[in-house]
Structure 1
Amino acid sequence: MLEATVRYILDLGAPVMMPIFITLFGLVLKQGMARSLRAGLTVGVGFVAIGLVVGLLIGVVGPRSMAFASVLGLKLDVLDVGWPMGAAVSFASPISAALIPSVFVLNVILVATRVTRTVDVDLWNYWHFIYTGALIHAATHSIVLGVVGACITAFIVFKLADWTAPAIEHHFGLPGISLPHTESVNWAPLMYALERIERRIPGLSKLEIRPETIRGRLGIMGEPIFMGAALGALIGALGGISLWREHRYGAWFKEVSTLAVTMAAVLIVLPKVVAILMEGLIPVSEGAREYLRKRLPGHDLFIGLDAAVVFGHPANMAVALLCVPIMLVVAVLLPGNRLLPFADLATLPCFVLWAVAASRGNMVRGLVNAILVMVPILWIGTSLGPLTTELAHTAGVRPEATTQLASQYQEWSALDLGSHILPWIVLNLFQPGTPGFWRALAVGVIYAGAWYWVRGEMRAQYRNEIDELGGTNDIDETDEDS
């Protein structure tokens, strides 16, 4: 009964689940039926609109990237079939029905006891935590270890979301919001550590290119619409190399111009649809904070959302689009990589998010950070291929978006799954005595050390803005020590 209920709710999808959850949340916070329902429906509209824009991005970037991959002659034997397969095998796992309420209850307990401040309302993306549990269950055949591993991952992600919330407010302009989005936020400590190192490198520390700088120097040509067009034309030209070689210049021009206009549209439309989403969330967020101020003085909370709400930041999109061809080249040259980037190339804005945010929109250091993070993503994606393929076969899941191509490969994985560094660490630490255990232990020590080293970066990065506002209640000493 529990499993059937959970699956029914999940099948409704985020555009339906989120309005229901936000409406109920608003009623609990005594916002009134009319205001709560309007907020919920507005959030649902925002999610539908974001889905349409991201779907457009996936539909045009994927095929062009694959065409460029064929030009490079990539002969890799693990196919990137995209994040939807990861979500599908997670929800199809035998322990998913137990993990969703487990993580939800954990979140409530952590917030009630003031251990964390993030209320993760993005139930759809609980699949990130379930994926950890599903991997551990498949590797150890232990449901208990799977549940414990998933809850450990969730706890760390909630703490990371708390720690990075000031950047969401001061850099992205979304107060009261955090991003407990595993494959994004789990890179934040390493990205801030890299940024701290790069600030001390002569030459690199002085290089600075931001979207506003480009607009200032190039005028109208530096606006997001023209940046999107230029980057889209670049990807289209690379993907259409074979057409040029075949002297099909008309078809080549169509490829280039189509992608140029599409990318221009994405960079213009995405921030606007995110604004619709925030129109619904802000009243609920403000109501939640006021509600808690009365009952838990001095304890503000953050509403946890999908990282898609900040994809549209111009610097993030520009770096992500530049990384599409770079990722393919890195995949060719990287020793030990077997993963062929494909479906998730269009979702690179998710993976490079904190590479850019750590540099506060400096596209030079953001691009350097993004390129460096590609290496572990490819290695982890390759490493998780066998278990992910096993989960897919067990659940009878086929990567529907790429079925014809996927049939040519014996193993499936995804760049998105490769971006799950925390689940990879937890998975391998739950298998002592294996070679993966010692690798994960080493990476875990480095990860923890990097986070401890940069724990005060949020306060340092946004001190001036906070002082101007005359308060520090979004960045306190507890956050620094987390």
Structure 2
Amino acid sequence: MDGFFNTIQALLEPVVNLGALFMIFVVFTLIGLIVRLGPVRAIRNGLMIAVGFQGVYIIVDFFLAGVGPAATALTERFGGVFTYTDIGWGAYAAFAFGHPIAYAVIAISLAVNLLLIVTNLTDTLNLNIWDTWEATICALIMLALTNNVLAALIVAAGWCWVNLMVTDWYANKGYPEKFYGFKNIAFYQGFNVWWGMFAHAVSSLLDKLPFTSSAKFTPEYVQKRFGAIGEPAVLGGIIGLLMGIGAGFWWGDIVMLMIKLATALVLLPMMSGIVMQALVPVSEAAAAFMQARTKGKQLFIGVDPAIAVGHTSVLATTALMVPVYQSVNSSSAER
């Protein structure tokens, strides 16, 4: 078994090591060819989807590079202390794909997805192959505990199944379309959609409270009510100003933080728009292709939820929550 996995790893590791963007381009180009978009359109859409995601990743890194020091300064200024460093999801993904079992997990995730579609147990056709690293991490934990490859693969298959169920639930609630405007799209990533269930519960609770049931504090509402204040650039500038002052920054650094947050809030929606513009023909063709073979069944196309960070509300909330998150972590470290 080890020899088989090592052979598969030797064949596929160079491809996987090229990263998420390479896989995004290849997967969506192949899907475009399969659903008969034509070679030129398939390659063009694959490239544009990869371009959009590259833009998202670049701007998110730029955003975090600007917010991180301010959040750390805020926490330290008010007595925080850090013991550990969060290395981020990228390190986990690299670790997962560094093990040969990852390639078996990719195959299993595809098989589970197709089986559930054929048996009408899922409404999602997942094209987010990169995020199978989550299932691989689960498999590696089981492998470490039991030293049993079969048990590890069963756990990975179970994770994929549960993840598809949660993805279906989130998409069928209409959040991707109603809130983000992404028609026939589902967000396939466990740590994202699972928190979506928690957010749904909190939202349902807030809808029942007298002071929050009719609240409309969205960027669109603020812009309509207060004019330019609700625009992404101004909103980013205000958040940057408040964070910079709270962190005790020099006025020049405060202005630069304002510019960085404003830049992120303005450019991220544009990058998400590029992804969606290229994704729409692929998703529509894929949906039509699958409907013709599944008796008219409506399918969502599972993609990386990174495209959702372009929404002003998401990024503004992230900027506001980073110092809160840092403060909670530092308080836990002190205990």
State yes or no: 1:65 paired with 2:63: no
Query: Could you report, residue by residue, the CA deviation over 1:191-231 in whole angstroms, capped at 9, with x for unpaired residues?
Result: 21222222222323344311122112211122111001111
In the alignment, is the contact (CA less than 8 A) between 1:237 and 1:255 conserved in 2? Answer: no
The match for 1:86 is 92
In the alignment, is the contact (CA less than 8 A) between 2:223 and 2:229 conserved in 1? Answer: yes
The match for 2:4 is none
The match for 1:367 is none
The match for 2:14 is 8
The match for 2:254 is 256
The match for 1:52 is 58
The match for 1:35 is 41
The code of the aligned residue for 2:79 comes to: G
The match for 1:411 is none
Rounded to whole Å, the distance in 2 between the matches of 1:101 and 1:235 is: 45
CA shift, 1:137, in A, is: 2.4
Query: Could you report, residue by residue, the CA deviation over 1:373-424 in whole angstroms, capped at 9, with x for unpaired residues?
Result: xxxxxxxxxxxxxxxxxxxxxxxxxxxxxxxxxxxxxxxxxxxxxxxxxxxx
CA shift, 1:94, in A, is: 5.0
Equivalent of 1:208 in 201, 216, 220:
216
CA shift, 1:237, in A, is: 2.7
In the alignment, is the contact (CA less than 8 A) between 1:231 and 1:263 conserved in 2? Answer: yes
Distance 1:237 1:145, change over 3 A: farther
The match for 2:160 is 154
Equivalent of 1:172 in 180, 190, 197:
180
The code of the aligned residue for 1:20 comes to: V
CA shift, 1:330, in A, is: 2.5
Rounded to whole Å, the distance in 2 between the matches of 1:169 and 1:200 is: 23
State yes or no: 1:194 paired with 2:202: yes
CA shift, 1:150, in A, is: 2.0
CA shift, 1:339, in A, is: 9.7
Rounded to whole Å, the distance in 2 between the matches of 1:206 and 1:117 is: 32
Rounded to whole Å, the distance in 2 between the matches of 1:339 and 1:195 is: 32
In the alignment, is the contact (CA less than 8 A) between 1:80 and 1:339 conserved in 2? Answer: no
Rounded to whole Å, the distance in 1 between the matches of 2:77 and 2:140 is: 36
The code of the aligned residue for 1:70 comes to: E
The code of the aligned residue for 1:66 comes to: T
Distance 1:150 1:216, change over 3 A: same
The code of the aligned residue for 1:14 comes to: A
In the alignment, is the contact (CA less than 8 A) between 1:172 and 1:310 conserved in 2? Answer: yes
Superposition RMSD in Å: 2.0
CA shift, 1:292, in A, is: 2.1
Stretch moving more, 68-77 or 174-183: 68-77
Instruction: Give the TM-score normalised by the residue count of structure 2.
Output: 0.91
2:125 is paired with a residue whose SS is strand
Distance 1:46 1:237, change over 3 A: same
Query: Could you report, residue by residue, the CA deviation over 1:264-321 in whole angstroms, capped at 9, with x for unpaired residues?
Result: 1111100111111112111111111111222222312221111111111122222221
Percent identity over paired residues? 29
1:36-435, aligned counterparts within 5 Å? Answer: 36-93=42-99, 95-165=101-171, 166-239=174-247, 241=248, 252-333=250-331, 337-338=332-333
CA shift, 1:142, in A, is: 3.2
Query: Could you report, residue by residue, the CA deviation over 1:131-156 in whole angstroms, capped at 9, with x for unpaired residues?
Result: 22222323443333322222212111
Rounded to whole Å, the distance in 2 between the matches of 1:138 and 1:64 is: 39
CA shift, 1:48, in A, is: 1.6
Rounded to whole Å, the distance in 2 between the matches of 1:103 and 1:42 is: 25
1:22 is paired with a residue whose SS is helix
The code of the aligned residue for 1:35 comes to: R
The code of the aligned residue for 1:263 comes to: L
Distance 1:16 1:92, change over 3 A: closer
1:178 is paired with a residue whose SS is strand
Rounded to whole Å, the distance in 1 between the matches of 2:256 and 2:264 is: 12
Query: Could you report, residue by residue, the CA deviation over 1:223-253 in whole angstroms, capped at 9, with x for unpaired residues?
Result: 11100111122223333x2x5xxxxxxxx11
Rounded to whole Å, the distance in 1 between the matches of 2:65 and 2:37 is: 39
Q: Structure 1 runs of 4+ off > 4 angstroms?
A: none
Rounded to whole Å, the distance in 1 between the matches of 2:69 and 2:170 is: 34
Residues paired across the two proteins, number: 327
Rounded to whole Å, the distance in 2 between the matches of 1:64 and 1:187 is: 26
Distance 1:72 1:140, change over 3 A: farther
In the alignment, is the contact (CA less than 8 A) between 1:225 and 1:268 conserved in 2? Answer: yes
CA shift, 1:162, in A, is: 1.6
Rounded to whole Å, the distance in 2 between the matches of 1:194 and 1:167 is: 14
CA shift, 1:39, in A, is: 1.1
2:301 is paired with a residue whose SS is strand
1:234 is paired with a residue whose SS is helix
The match for 2:3 is none
Rounded to whole Å, the distance in 1 between the matches of 2:130 and 2:166 is: 19
The code of the aligned residue for 1:123 comes to: I
The code of the aligned residue for 1:179 comes to: F
Query: Could you report, residue by residue, the CA deviation over 1:17-41 in whole angstroms, capped at 9, with x for unpaired residues?
Result: 2222211111111121122111111
CA shift, 1:114, in A, is: 2.2
Rounded to whole Å, the distance in 1 between the matches of 2:37 and 2:334 is: 49
In the alignment, is the contact (CA less than 8 A) between 1:293 and 1:299 conserved in 2? Answer: yes
1:173 is paired with a residue whose SS is coil
In the alignment, is the contact (CA less than 8 A) between 2:81 and 2:334 conserved in 1? Answer: no
Rounded to whole Å, the distance in 2 between the matches of 1:116 and 1:195 is: 25
Rounded to whole Å, the distance in 2 between the matches of 1:207 and 1:89 is: 43
Structure 1: stretches of 5+ with no match in the other structure: 244-251, 341-482
Rounded to whole Å, the distance in 2 between the matches of 1:95 and 1:293 is: 33
Stretch moving more, 86-95 or 283-292: 86-95
In the alignment, is the contact (CA less than 8 A) between 2:80 and 2:327 conserved in 1? Answer: no
The code of the aligned residue for 2:117 comes to: V
